């Protein structure tokens, strides 16, 4: 989230921050609210199918979402409103982040393309679309790799060969890190961020993969079933990154255009932040593996158990990390 804060607001954190670099109370509250919104975005709600029950809020989702949204707005709105005011009062304002880009967009008549309300909504939606997938995928990938040390060793060897030990992995190294990307693809396949995609509605009668879908039908894809189908995948429940490597050694991408599983969705309504999501995911996993050796703590083995309420790990991953690079590399 520190990276996302910089991209959108040119600041790494909300509030004063902490000297030790750990998240402050403001960051914890903000990220917690984002994950609450995501939880109920994908949750089943009976009122979605029986609109007459919406006013009753029988499952409490409306109340939960309202509270979480108010927390997010508490942090976003003052920054956005102040920045818009600065742009309106200054003729020399410069674009420094995504918020500036949105404010500076003009239509054919040189009028603001987006209203304040639209900018606030876009920033929140971008936050929601960025925070969950990289963190969930990397946690599962690292856990699976620790459970199979030979896979972790292969990832480490690739990083040592491509990057070495005298510097940290950089974005320019990503095209050469095919095994690391294969590990992430496998984590996406086995452990998607949500059990289903967001519902879509068929605009007309159509046929997809020999299925007739009548106009007006709600279409919901099960991410877990897609990624674990024995018709598509050999040993579907096994974490096996090699299945994603090409025989000719060509580049591995995190996107999956054939919908054998879902990463950043596909088609003209696919995720517009594929490059950002890919970069965040690869850089996070690569730096964790390059910078440290990882083992399970004594008497506490890594448990690959999924939560009963969502696809996250039932318990946060707890492992022992030991630095493996020269001290000056970390200081740089």
The reply to whether 271 sits in an annotated binding site is yes
Q: Give the C-alpha distances (Å, rounded to integers) separating 249 from 81, 255, 279.
A: 50, 17, 20
286: Cβ contacts below 8 Å, ≥ 6 apart: 159, 169, 173, 174, 177, 180
Q: Are 296 and 288 in contact (CB under 8 A)?
A: no
3-state secondary structure of 314: coil
- Between helix 25-41 and helix 61-89 the angle, nearest 10°, is 120
| 18 and 107 Cβ atoms separated by less than 8 Å | no
Residue 168 in tokens: 């940290």
Task: Give 41's contacts (C-beta < 8 A, 6+ positions apart).
Answer: 128, 198
Angle, CA 138 vertex, CA 132 and CA 142 arms, to 5°: 150
Q: From 178, 142, 154, select the one nearest 253 (Cα to Cα).
A: 178
**Neighbour count for residue 286 (Cβ, 10 Å):** 27
Q: Which residues are annotated as a binding site?
A: 271
Sequence ranges of the binding site for heme: 271
């Amino acid at each position: 989230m520190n990276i996302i804060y910089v991209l959108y607001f040119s600041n790494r954190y909300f509030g004063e921050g902490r000297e030790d670099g750990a998240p402050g109370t403001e960051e914890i509250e903000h990220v917690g609210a984002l994950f609450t919104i995501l939880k109920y975005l994908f949750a089943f709600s009976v009122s979605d199918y029986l609109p007459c029950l919406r006013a009753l809020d029988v499952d409490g989702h409306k109340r939960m979402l309202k509270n979480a949204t108010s927390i997010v707005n508490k942090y976003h709105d003052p920054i956005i409103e102040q920045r818009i005011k600065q742009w309106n009062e200054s003729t020399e304002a410069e674009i420094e982040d995504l918020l500036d880009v949105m404010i500076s967009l003009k239509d054919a008549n040189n009028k603001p393309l987006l209203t304040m309300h639209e900018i606030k909504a876009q920033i929140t939606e971008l936050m929601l679309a960025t925070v969950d997938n990289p963190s969930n995928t990397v946690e599962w990938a690292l856990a699976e790799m620790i459970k199979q040390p030979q896979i972790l060793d292969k990832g480490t060897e690739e990083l040592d060969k491509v990057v070495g030990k005298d510097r940290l992995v950089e974005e320019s190294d990503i095209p050469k890190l095919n095994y690391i990307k294969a590990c992430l693809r496998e984590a996406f396949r086995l452990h998607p961020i949500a059990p289903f995609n967001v519902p879509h509605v068929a605009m007309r009668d159509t046929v997809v993969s020999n299925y007739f879908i009548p106009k007006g039908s709600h279409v919901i894809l099960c991410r877990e079933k897609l990624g674990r189908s024995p018709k598509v995948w050999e040993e579907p429940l096994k974490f096996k990154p090699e299945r994603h490597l090409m025989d000719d050694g060509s580049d591995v991408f995190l996107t999956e255009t054939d919908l054998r599983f879902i990463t950043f969705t596909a088609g003209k309504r696919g995720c517009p932040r594929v490059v950002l999501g890919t970069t965040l995911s690869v850089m996070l996993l690569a730096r964790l593996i390059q910078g440290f050796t990882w083992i399970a703590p004594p008497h506490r083995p890594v448990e690959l158990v999924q939560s009963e309420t969502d696809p996250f790990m039932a318990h946060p991953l707890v492992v022992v990390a030991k630095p493996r690079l020269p001290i000056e590399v970390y200081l740089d």
